[in-house]
Amino acid sequence: MAPSTGSVHPVRYLTVFAVLVAVLYALVFFTGDKSATPKLGIDLQGGTRVTLTARTPDGSKPTPDSLRQAQEIIETRVNGLGVSGSEVVIDGDNLVITVPGDDSAQARSLGQTARLYVRPVTTSQAAAATGGTAPATGETPADAPAGTETPAPQNRPFPAQDPSTSPEPAPATEPASGTETGEAADEIAAARATRQSTDPAVQQQAMATLDCGVPDPLRGNDDPALPLVACSTDGQAVYLLEPAIIDGQEIADASSGYNSQQSRHEVSLTFKTEGSNTWATFTSQNIGKQAAFTLDSKVVSAPVVQGATPAGSSTSITGSFTADSAKELANTLKYGSLPLSFAASEAETVSATLGLASLQAGLIAGLVGLILVLIYCLLYYRMLGVLTALSLVLSGVMVYAIMVLLGRYINFTLDLAGIAGLIIGIGMTADSFVVFFERIKDEMREGRSFRSAVPRGWARARRTILSGNAVSFIAAAVLYILAVGQVRGFAFTLGLTTILDVVVVFLVTWPLVHLASKSPFWSKPGVNGLGAVQQIAKERKAAAASAKESRV
């Protein structure tokens, strides 16, 4: 049964929609970088390209399988950071990463080897003055040399203060080729001979002479079975570390979050069974000592063990993280280490593969199609066609704000495939209007007035609209999960506009039609375009009455 007229509050629905739009645009104009334009993909605005050149310890050529595996891991990292529209391709013995826009740091960070080890700390000292940033006045680095005051015991491993900055991207070097590959192998071998020596005298010499301000030739190529002399990621301290006790392959999961008690961002690690048991044993036997988390041969964090960590519990990596850098590190560790270490080239700007001409052509095609749909609706539905146009405009306003916010917060980039998904989704929104309007006409053919037919037609139409949109959303979700590249962008925007279709129909179209049904002016057959339907209803009623009289 249709809801009673008195139970419907169309103004409330319209108010809810207006509040949603106001909140979205408040976020657009008063948060983040305040840019009011969506981020465009590589095919429309170009991007930044970084070439990653493999560095093997023995100078040998990387195998095709290792390159393909590295490509898959980096692509997974891209997906873990959001729908960013980045490209990762194999070019000979290199990997080429292209990200939309001019942010070269993101491309380099995706190429982190991400070889994480947990190593006990033997000793540490302040790094030599090499241009690194000094601590602020009165600040004591958490990973300070022996002799600083030990913090009060707590119930889990925890550094006294933020120990380091987030992992820095790989230093920019020219891609190696030919004899440069052999030179890289020589550099790695020389670094191992000094920084991974078991001779205490060589270790002390390495700590005294290690320059934390230059590119690290040992990056991602240290031997976990040997000691290691390593810098902190901020270049402020040098550590002598024991052989690794836990390999990053033992990480079961990694996530980032904000510790409200300590007011800082953290990366939480959950180890697999073997790694968790090793960590529990180590923390119970080494209270008061430091354990270093090293990522690509640099110390990310070196907390003091302040209590035993039970097996199966998570462990936090802390540092001077921002929300983004903590998320990037967690994403890098979560999806595994690369089978190769890489040196990154200088970033270069690449032009759009399709260009703004394609964007303009796509938008013009969508606009022409939308205008034709609106003209048809105005001719066929008249007043209801006006409401269709208004609903589509409001839907477009909401879609635009969401595109801007998604680009700002999850690096979503709008490419030509995504625009196609938006156009199709908006077309499906028009289909929902047609379903609703035809249900109204069905009710009027049965002899009901326009005012009576609207709530009854809505009660019948909304089930059909929800069912159709559910099927479309499931199809978009499956396509997004199974597809790669630009097809994912198409599926994402299609699924998004499917959800917005339901929002607009329920919060805008239905309330507007209900208000129109109460208006004497909009209820006139010549205005709402339903005069022919009402005439059919009258003819049916007359025919039924005539048939009844003939039977009598």
Does 505 share its domain with 362?
A: yes
Does 324 share its domain with 364?
A: no
pLDDT value at residue 276: 92
Burial of 404: CB neighbours in 10 Å, binned 0-12, 13-18, 19+:
buried
**Which two structure tokens, joined as six digits, stand for 18?**
């207006």
Does 231 share its domain with 298?
A: yes
**Secondary structure in 3-state letters for 54-105:** EECCCCCCCCHHHHHHHHHHHHHHHHHCCCCCCEEEEECCEEEEEEECCCHH
Q: What is the pLDDT along the chain (552 residues), one digit of tens a residue?
A: 444 444 668 899 999 999 999 999 999 998 877 778 888 877 777 777 888 888 777 777 888 888 888 888 887 777 665 545 677 888 888 888 887 776 666 666 676 777 889 999 999 888 765 443 333 222 223 333 333 333 333 333 433 333 333 334 333 334 444 445 567 778 888 889 999 999 999 999 999 999 888 888 888 788 899 999 999 888 889 999 999 999 888 888 888 989 888 888 988 989 999 999 999 999 999 998 999 989 888 898 888 888 888 888 888 887 778 887 888 788 777 877 777 777 776 667 766 666 667 667 777 877 887 788 788 888 877 778 888 888 888 888 999 999 999 888 877 888 888 888 888 887 788 888 889 988 988 888 887 888 888 999 999 999 999 999 999 999 999 998 887 667 888 899 999 999 999 999 999 999 999 998 888 887 777 776 676 676 676 667 666 767 766 665
Tell me the CATH number at 525: 1.20.1640.10
Amino acid letter at 139? Answer: E
Is 347 a member of any domain? no
Is 239 a member of any domain? yes
pLDDT value at residue 106: 63
Tell me how many degrees the CA angle 435-439-443 measures, rounded to the nearest 5: 170
Contact 51, 111 (CB under 8 A): no
Give bridge partners of residue 128 from the DSSP assignment: none
For residues 205 and 228, what is the distance between their CA atoms, to the nearest angstrom? Answer: 13
Does 21 share its domain with 146?
A: no
Is 59 a member of any domain? no
- Listed residue (462, 471, 356, 372) closest to 415, CA to CA: 356
Does 234 share its domain with 311?
A: yes
For residues 250 and 268, what is the distance between their CA atoms, to the nearest angstrom? Answer: 14
pLDDT value at residue 238: 93
Is 93 a member of any domain? no
**Who contacts 240 (Cβ-Cβ below 8 Å, separation ≥6)?**
121, 122, 123, 124, 203, 207, 227, 228, 229
Contact 502, 20 (CB under 8 A): no
Is 72 a member of any domain? no
The domain total for the chain is 2
**Which two structure tokens, joined as six digits, stand for 337?**
């280490």
Q: pTM, whole model, 2 decimals?
A: 0.59
For residues 7 and 52, what is the distance between their CA atoms, to the nearest angstrom? Answer: 64
**Who contacts 229 (Cβ-Cβ below 8 Å, separation ≥6)?**
194, 195, 196, 203, 206, 207, 210, 238, 239, 240, 241
Does 299 share its domain with 389?
A: no
The domain in which residue 445 lies consists of 5-38+354-546
H or E segment at 395?
helix 383-409
For residues 116 and 248, what is the distance between their CA atoms, to the nearest angstrom? Answer: 5
- Listed residue (358, 367, 370, 365) closest to 415, CA to CA: 358
**Which two structure tokens, joined as six digits, stand for 38?**
């969506």
Contact 254, 269 (CB under 8 A): yes
Does 159 share its domain with 28?
A: no
Is 70 a member of any domain? no
**Which two structure tokens, joined as six digits, stand for 436?**
């609703």
Single out the residue in 300, 331, 362 at which a domain terminates.
331
For residues 384 and 394, what is the distance between their CA atoms, to the nearest angstrom? Answer: 15
pLDDT value at residue 250: 87
> Within 10 A of 431 (CB to CB), how many other CB atoms are there?
14
Does 398 share its domain with 444?
A: yes
Q: How far is CA 153 from CA 158, 278, 319, in A?
A: 9, 21, 19
**Which two structure tokens, joined as six digits, stand for 484?**
């790669």
Helices 10-30 and 383-409 pack at an angle, to 10 degrees, of 30
Burial of 64: CB neighbours in 10 Å, binned 0-12, 13-18, 19+:
exposed
Does 158 share its domain with 293?
A: yes
Which DSSP string do the residues of 403-439 spell out, in sequence order?
HHHHHHHS---B-HHHHHHHHHHHHHHHHHHHHHHHH
Using CA atoms in the order 531, 536, 542, 547, what is the torsion angle rounded to 10 degrees? Answer: 180
Does 306 share its domain with 387?
A: no
Tell me the CATH number at 194: 3.30.1360.200
Single out the residue in 331, 362, 392 at which a domain terminates.
331
Does 323 share its domain with 367?
A: no
For residues 436 and 454, what is the distance between their CA atoms, to the nearest angstrom? Answer: 9
Does 268 share its domain with 125?
A: yes
Give bridge partners of residue 123 from the DSSP assignment: 240
Q: How far is CA 246 from CA 68, 73, 164, 223, 349, in A?
A: 26, 21, 21, 13, 40
For residues 373 and 427, what is the distance between their CA atoms, to the nearest angstrom? Answer: 9
For residues 318 and 300, what is the distance between their CA atoms, to the nearest angstrom? Answer: 8
Is 321 a member of any domain? yes
**Which two structure tokens, joined as six digits, stand for 171?**
């230093």
Single out the residue in 331, 366, 386 at which a domain terminates.
331
